Amino acid sequence: MLKKKDKYVVAIVGATGAVGNEMAEVLEERNFPVKKLRLFASERSEGKIISFHDESVTVEILTENVFKGIDIALFSAGGERSLHYAPIATKEGCVVVDNSSAWRMDPKVPLVVPEVNTHDLKWHKGIIANPNCSTIQMVVVLKPIHDAAKIKRVVVTTFQSVSGTGKKAMDELLNQTSDLLNFKDIKPLVYPHQIAFNCIPHIDKFMDDGYTKEEIKMVNETKKIMGDDSIRVTATTVRVPVFRGHSEAINIETEKKLTANAVRALLSKAPGVLVYDEPEKNVYPLPTLTAGKDEVYVGRIREDTTIENGINIWIAADNLRKGAALNAVQIAEKLIEMA
């Protein structure tokens, strides 16, 4: 449990990665009460300097002995590191907000999106899981609709940027794009296929039933965060050649009828959501618009005329911010409020 203090010793585990980097920026931007920032990565990054406010912070090697004296650790260094180091950190009294999928479905670990289920933070035992990026941006929008009209079923297709895979994938998209434009041969390294000028309907591993793990995460995590096992979710997740920002086409079937205008009114009052929906002026969410922004943008709000109570929407959000770093920092802010 976090003790009330004026300022906290905060660590970022995986500080040199795409999400870790963003975590430091979000902590700085939101003036998080940081007494001291500690940055950890692999031995490859030892000694790298990252600036935080007016200071230069040196990246240290992650070992089992580093957690003494750290109040809050934001983890984004992959599932294996989280599985191994998060319990070690909690033994030292450190509260861990973990961005990997390692702890998300553990019944003893809350899975939290502050706009949806802050109340679940009450029962944490040292580790809080940050949900999957595509799930976070979807549930922020589903929650007010569920509260108003009870969602029965969700059909979602994602268009996910390469930053969700990490820094190496961003380099791969950049290099492939430039090589192909210069008539050079390319060799896919991070993804099984060329990602430049392509769409790959394959995120994370395939399961026996033909779904990918990313699709299953969206199904299971949505139920856990919303606290309702009755919501049926089916997903198709697709990697697209976008650097930053995930988009999603979502079809929602509700028990009660909601008009498109009613959905627009509900979402315009919802925390963390920005209704961006004037199609006649070409105004709709785009990943280029949401880069660096905190809100989940929602537009293309229409009634689905093929079922009795259905709505179609299109959303976009910055996967590195609301989908990862910002949500983790917001969880830490709530923990401080509750301390």
Residue ranges in contact with ligand A2P by CB under 6 A: 14-18, 20, 41-42, 44-45, 62, 77-78, 81, 166-168
Is 94 annotated in the active site?
no
Residues 8/1, Cβ–Cβ less than 8 Å: no
- Of 29 and 64, the one with the shorter C-beta distance to ligand A2P is 64
DSSP code per residue over 243-256: SS-EEEEEEEEESS
Please, what is the minimum distance in Å from the beta carbon of residue 163 to ligand A2P? 8
Tokens 């105004």 sit at which residue?
283
- Of 20 and 299, the one with the shorter C-beta distance to ligand A2P is 20
Please, what is the minimum distance in Å from the beta carbon of residue 19 to ligand A2P? 6
Query: Whose CB is nearest to ligand A2P?
Result: 17
Please, what is the minimum distance in Å from the beta carbon of residue 316 to ligand A2P? 21
Please, what is the minimum distance in Å from the beta carbon of residue 39 to ligand A2P? 9
- Of 170 and 250, the one with the shorter C-beta distance to ligand A2P is 170
Exactly one of 94, 133, 193, 202 is catalytic; name it: 133
Q: What is the distance between the alpha carbons of residues 308 and 37, in angstroms, rounded to a whole number? A: 53
Q: How far is CA 285 from CA 17, 222, 298, in A?
A: 27, 22, 6
Give which of 45, 61, 54, 47 is closest to 11, Cα–Cα.
61
Is 246 annotated in the active site?
yes
Residues facing 263 on adjacent strands: none
Residues 13/73, Cβ–Cβ less than 8 Å: yes
- Of 66 and 335, the one with the shorter C-beta distance to ligand A2P is 66
Burial of 46-71, coded b for 16+ CB within 10 Å and e otherwise, reads eeeebebeeeebebbebeeebbeebb
Catalytic residues: 133, 246
